[in-house]
Amino acid sequence: MFKKIDHIGIAVKDLEETMKKFKDVYGLELHKVREVKDQKVKIAVFKIGETKIELLEPTEEESAVGRFIRKRGEGFHHIAFQVEDLGSTLEKIEGAGIKTVTDKPTLGYENHKIIFLHPKTTNGVLIELVEK
Ligand code: CMX
């Protein structure tokens, strides 16, 4: 089922300022910076060992990350697990009463198949599944 942690998402108000902290203070290697238009976010991805940290700044207040920051402030937003086969994983997950946010997987910014699990059905933690 879940193979490893692909990345951890952190919602931030100011991407530029937070990137400086991750590079210059924490000493992490910047992997990529990108705008993901359909999710209404700008992201910066840092590598740490085998996993990554994804910083997310909303480009619009009315967006998943914009609403998250408005309600809860900056902070831990989601954890992404790599899975071998999204189809069989989803069958098992749905059989256990866990709901996905969208009906079908979509393509993430690296063209991998992704889907989000609704935090109301996953102990309050937004989970992203990634098939590479
Ligand atoms: N973690 C935990 N709980 C969360 C959450 C998160 N990241 N985001 C929202 N919630 C909670 C809210 O606190 C709220 O709880 P209460 O009802 O107790 O107040 C509930 O979920 C509904 O929140 P909402 O703001 O009313 O609903 P949204 O319209 O924002 O929808 C969700 C929530 C999970 C469906 C939406 O955030 C979503 O579709 N997320 C997946 C997509 C995404 O996060 N994209 C961001 C960028 C991804 C990337 O490129 O990596």
Q: Any residues with Cβ below 6 Å from ligand 1, and which?
A: 9, 36, 39, 41, 43, 54, 56, 64-65, 67-68, 71, 77-78, 101, 116, 118-119, 124, 126
Mean of pLDDT values over 13-41: 96
Query: Tens digit of pLDDT for each residue in 7-21?
Result: 999 999 999 999 999
Whose CA is closest to atom 41 on ligand 1?
A: 116
Tell me the whole-structure pTM to 2 decimals.
Answer: 0.96
124: exposed, middle or buried (C-beta count within 10 Å: 0-12, 13-18, 19+)? Answer: exposed
Whose CA is closest to atom 27 on ligand 1?
A: 64
The dihedral through the CA atoms of 60, 76, 27, 37 has a sign that is negative
